[in-house]
Every structure is written in structure tokens, then in C-alpha cells.
Amino acid sequence: MANVLIVGESWMSQSQHIKGWDFFSSATYHTGHRELQAALEAAGHRVAHLPSHAAATEFPFELSELRAYDVVILSDVGANTLLLHPDTWIHGRTTPNRLRLIAAFVEAGGGLLMAGGYFSFQGIHGAARFRRTPVEAVLPVTLLSVDDRVEEPEGFDVHLDAPDHPLVADLPTPWPPLLGLNEVVVRPEATLVASAGGYPLLVLGHHGSGRSAAWTSDIGPHWCSPEFVAWDGYARLWPRLVAWLAGEPHQEVRA
């Protein structure tokens, strides 16, 4: 079973409450990884979570540290968080480029998944900024230069482009609705496994000695609807995908 590092999937929200002359502020902290972590751990994978606010300082600087994991999942965390360590952003010191480190991790045999969100791929207002980075170079997709979100509040229909692929062949159909995704372009050498509304949803690829995948919708609500999370296929798809990324010789996930 694989050692998995989920990076991102946390955020803080601040609200201003105005009641006539009076007002107060409140702040809340949220995470969006728990459904995915539960599915992976139920299948025997070992999972660590590095929330977005900690990733700037705690994401590894050395390949030897990152290789403690078989698979890295980047989900709803922008490139700036990994580029701008406080030593660089605040003190103007040189620090390693951790986007290049992720690319080196894949080239050396690691598995990388980028999952969709407002700060994944190119993201809202183009602010996730993974286009033309070393991370994009190892993904099985290329990124748009603009805000790449596709919102579908009525729900996308999922189409299996490779219905016989071991990752999806025996999952129950139809798949429940997805409410949005990041638009990407599939590389010619990659495998498009599934689409949503005509847009790529699940894409697999190889780079160097490693493997990478793009899942362009959320791993949990809001784009990934509660019905999708409760679907029997959710708890089966993610462990298989992680095992494939880790290169595990399992009959169900062998490419």
C-alpha cells in the first residue's frame, strides 16, 4: 500500500456581521480532504495531510524527504504557496524551487495527482498559476492561460472514454453529478479515462520513471456533489488511482 501526501484542501473564511449600528467579525477554518482520506485509509493506504497554510513552510525542500511518500496529491493549493517560502517572501533569501522538486519526484518514480479546485491547474482568475511551471511539464495535460473554471450547477454527465480501463471498468453507472471542473487539454500521449460535459475529467500519463494524473473536479464538495461522495464508486476509484500512481502491481489497477 502507498504512502500518500495530500497538500492543500484547507482554507480560512472571515465574515463581517452587521446588525443595525452594531457589528462583529468571525473567522472559521475548513478542510476538504476528509472524504478522500477516509476512502484511501479504508483501503489500506497511509495518508498525511499538509494543509495550505502550513505548506509554505513545511513542504519538503529535499527530494530525499519527498520520497518518503509514494504519491503526492496537490488539491486546491496554488503555485505561490510552494514558491514563496517566508525566507524568500519576507526576508529576500534564496530558497529551493519546490515546483521543480515535485517534477524531480515524478521523474525519479513518484506519483503525482493534481485534483481540481479554485486554486488548482490555472484556477480562479488564473491565480493558481501552474501553467508553464515544472509541475505542468509532468502532468498528462496542458493548462489554459486564463481562468479555467467551468461551472455547471445543474450537474455534468460523466462519460467513460476508456470504459474498459481497470480503474473504472466495474464501477456502478451512471456516475453521480459533478458541479464543475477546471478545463485542461489532454496531451497526445496521455490516456483520457473519463470526461464530464465534454471536458477531460480523469487523465493518466507517464513521465520519466513516474506516473501522473489529472482529476479536474473536486475531491469533495462543492464541485464533487454529496451524491458523488456517497456513491459506491467513490470509495473504490480513489484507492485504485493512488495504487496506479504508486506503480503497485495490482491486477485491478495495472495499466
Instruction: Look at residue 133 and tell me whether its pLDDT is greater than 80.
Output: yes
DSSP 83: H
**Residue 253 confidence (pLDDT) above 80:** no
For residues 222-239, give the mean pLDDT.
97
157 contacts 181 by C-beta, under 8 angstroms = no
Q: What is the pLDDT, as a whole number, of residue 54?
A: 97
> How high is the mean pLDDT of the chain?
96
* Residues 6+ away with beta carbon under 8 Å from 163: 169
Distance CA 137, CA 160 (A): 25
Specify the 3-state DSSP secondary structure of 207: strand
Q: Tell me: pLDDT of 252 over 50.
A: no
> Biggest alpha carbon distance in the chain?
66
Question: Averaged over 143-164, what is the pLDDT?
Answer: 97
**pLDDT at 255 > cutoff 60:** no
What CATH number should be reported for the domain holding residue 90? 3.40.50.880
In a domain, 152, yes or no: yes
| Residue range 51-67, pLDDT digits in tens | 999 999 999 999 999 99
Q: What range defines the domain where residue 148 resides?
A: 3-8+30-253
> For cell 483520457, what's the residue?
192
- Provide the number of structural domains found in the chain: 1
On whether residue 43 sits in a domain, the answer given is yes
- The whole-angstrom separation of Cα 220 and Cα 229 is 7
13 assigned to some structural domain: no
Instruction: Please give the average per-residue pLDDT across 58-86, as a whole number.
Output: 97
Mean pLDDT value across residues 114-129: 98
Q: Is the peptide bond before 174 cis (omega within 30 degrees of 0)?
A: yes
Residue 251 has pLDDT above 80, yes or no: no
Task: Name the band, by pLDDT with cuts 50, 70 and 90, for residue 249.
Answer: low
Beta strand 71-75 pairing with 199-207: unpaired
Q: Which three cell numbers stand for residue 206?
A: 507517464
**Residue 106: inside a domain, yes or no?**
yes
Residue 134 counted as domain residue: yes
| Rounded-to-integer distance, Cα 2 and Cα 244, Å | 10
pLDDT tens column, 8-31: 999 999 999 999 999 999 999 999
Residue 248 maps to a domain = yes
Is 20 domain-assigned?
Answer: no
Q: Cell numbers for 92, please give them.
A: 529576500
For the chain, state the CA radius of gyration: 18
Smallest CA-to-CA distance from 33 within 232, 213, 238 is with 238
| Whether pLDDT at 190 is above 90 | yes
